[in-house]
Amino acid sequence: MARRPLSPHMTVYRFGYTMSLSILHRAMGLVLSIAFIVFAAWLCAAAAGEAAYDDFIGLLPAPLARAGLALVVVAFVYHLANGIRHLFWDAGLGFERSQARRSGALVVVVAVIGSAVALYALFTHGAAS
């Protein structure tokens, strides 16, 4: 019997952009989880009073907070678009190689355009400007 992996492993497959999209989906989920914790801490600081809120806001310099907010927006848009792609997969659609590549490209296009629109709206017309 030949020695082979018991389960698929990254060294077995040629690295493709669909694999990159899968890894990026997980990374963006992690970013969103961390952002949720920060958001909960921000709410707790706001509920604790003005002094606690000022202390919390003082932890992050404005450029770092804006960059973090931009990352969260991009993570949300990408994770949402790729999550919709996964819902189609759950329904049994889009498993062929060409369909998976096409839907992956669509996810990237939607994420780039959606993120650009959201960031433009947020930083030019929103409260973050």
Instruction: Find the helix or strand (DSSP H, E) in which 98 lies.
Output: helix 97-125
Quote the CA–CA distance of 66 and 119 in Å, as a whole number.
10
Quote the CA–CA distance of 103 and 32 in Å, as a whole number.
22
108-126: pLDDT as tens digits: 999 999 999 999 999 998 6
Q: What is the span of the domain harbouring residue 42?
A: 17-125
Q: Which residues of the chain have pLDDT under 70?
A: 1-2, 4-11, 126-129
The enclosing domain of 118 has a CATH number of 1.20.1300.10
The predicted pLDDT at position 19 comes to: 86
Sign, CA torsion 67/15/102/29 = negative
Q: Which pTM was predicted?
A: 0.83
The answer to the question of residue 8 being in a domain is no
The answer to the question of residue 119 being in a domain is yes
How many structural domains are present in the chain? 1
The answer to the question of residue 105 being in a domain is yes
The answer to the question of residue 80 being in a domain is yes
Confirm if 128 and 73 have CB atoms less than 8 A apart: no
The predicted pLDDT at position 18 comes to: 85
What are the CA-CA distances from residue 121 to residues 4, 77, 125 (Å)?
Answer: 51, 14, 5
The predicted pLDDT at position 99 comes to: 94
The answer to the question of residue 52 being in a domain is yes
Quote the CA–CA distance of 124 and 46 in Å, as a whole number.
25
User: Residue 81's CB: how many other CB atoms inside 10 A?
Assistant: 21
The predicted pLDDT at position 116 comes to: 97
The answer to the question of residue 5 being in a domain is no
